[in-house]
Structure 1
Amino acid sequence: MRTSRTMGTILTILGIIFVIAGGATYVMVSQELSRANVTVADDAAFLAGDEVDGPFSAYAQAQIIDKHALDATGGKTYAELDREDPLRQTAMSASFLRASLFTSVVAFGVAAMAMGVGAGMILGGIGLRARADDPAAVPVTV
């Protein structure tokens, strides 16, 4: 039973670390996006006019950047444009901006996942400790 208590404590501590790290990452990415002072374009499919500071607004802005770039290039992507086409720079800039925004969307997702895993670890650790402290618990042998 002592092993269960120790493992429960370790699992709980690791869970707390995961929750804190995930939360800190989520806040940091949000603050960095907010510092860029970007607003979702007025013609976006959703969240038009919203400040880009979260996963949904970043996704919305990435989508409208793609639409604007395709409109500007006549529906052609960077790879489809001739090397000498002056619109290639527009397509490249749009691609870079979209990739940056999608990277932040992924960072938000990983941060949320870390917090969820951490919460699960905390609950598992508490459960292990409770089992170790239960005098009626029957030791499980494998």
Structure 2
Amino acid sequence: MSTTLAPATTATALTLSPTKAIVVRWIGYAALLGALVMIIGGGTVWGIVTSQLKAENITVSEDADFMPGAAVQGPFSAYAQATIINHHALEMSDGKTYAELEQDDPTRATVMNASFLRASLFTSVVSYGVSALVIGVGLLFGLFGWAIISAVPASKKNKA
């Protein structure tokens, strides 16, 4: 038994009026411009956060499970340091968080500082995540813009 398969799709030409073609091409250019702004913005924020973390000269604690001894200058090392700070604070407070400690507990201030440090490090981790997201969306915008511009032919000027 023999089977012949027909082509799954056939090509159809999309016809746009000259005005619509211009508008669609401008949308493509706007997407490319937006892509450029997002990629530069995301990269700039990534760089600023990295330089600020480096300036603090923080090193991941040697007893950390993840990246011990590494300089804190990126999302993974910041996360590693935040995690070990939590471990040390809970160890010091017999497993109690700041909110669970009595107000007159002498370890409460230290646990509070640990909580603030963790929050600051997690803020940098979130900043890295948002920067990566913006760069990724910028790349997609660039691809979409390029595809739109490539798909819509440039209008031909009438020579009269």
TM range, smaller chain: over 0.9
What letter is aligned with 1:73?
S
Query: 1:98 is matched with which residue?
Result: 118
Cα offset for 1:75? 1.0
**Are 2:22 and 2:154, in contact at CA under 8 Å, matched by a contact in 1?**
no
Deviation at 1:23, TM superposition (A): 0.3
- Corresponding position of 2:13: none
DSSP-derived class of the 1:133 partner: coil
Taking structure 1 as the reference length, the TM-score comes to: 0.93
State the partner residue of 1:59: 79
Residue number in structure 1 paired with 2:94 = 74
Please list every run of 5 or more consecutive structure 1 residues that lacks an aligned counterpart in the other structure: 136-142
Q: Is residue 39 from structure 1 mapped to residue 35 from structure 2 by the alignment?
A: no
Which structure 2 residue ranges, 5 or more long, are not aligned? 1-20, 156-160
Q: Which residue of 1 aligns with 2:9?
A: none
CA apart distance, 1:2? 1.1
Instruction: Identify the structure with bigger relative contact order (alpha carbons < 8 Å, sequence gap 6+).
Output: 1
TM (norm. structure 2) is 0.82
Aligned mates of 1:85, 1:7 — CA distance in 2: 62
Aligned to 1:25: 45
Greater helix proportion = 1
Q: RMSD over aligned Cα, in angstroms?
A: 1.1
Tell me which amino acid in the other structure corresponds to 2:40: I
Alignment partner of 1:123 is 2:129:
no
8 Å CA contact retained: 1:4, 1:131: no
SS at 2:105 equivalent: coil
1:10 match? 30
Alignment check: 8 A CA contact 1:39 1:49 kept: yes
1:111 aligns with 2:131: yes
Q: How many residues align?
A: 135
> Offset at 1:125?
0.4
- When Rg is computed on C-alpha atoms for both structures, the one with the higher figure is 2
Post-superposition shift, 1:134? Answer: 7.6
Q: Any idea what the Cα deviations from partners look like across 1:54-107, whole Å, max 9, x if unmatched?
A: 000000000000000111111111011100011000110000000000000000
- Identical pairs, percent: 46
Runs of at least 4 residues of structure 1 off by over 4 A?
Answer: none
Report the residue type matching 1:13 in the other structure. L
Q: Secondary structure at the match of 1:50?
A: coil
- CA separation in 2, counterparts of 1:10 and 1:76? 53
Per the TM alignment, residue 3 of structure 1 is displaced from its structure 2 partner at its CA by 1.3
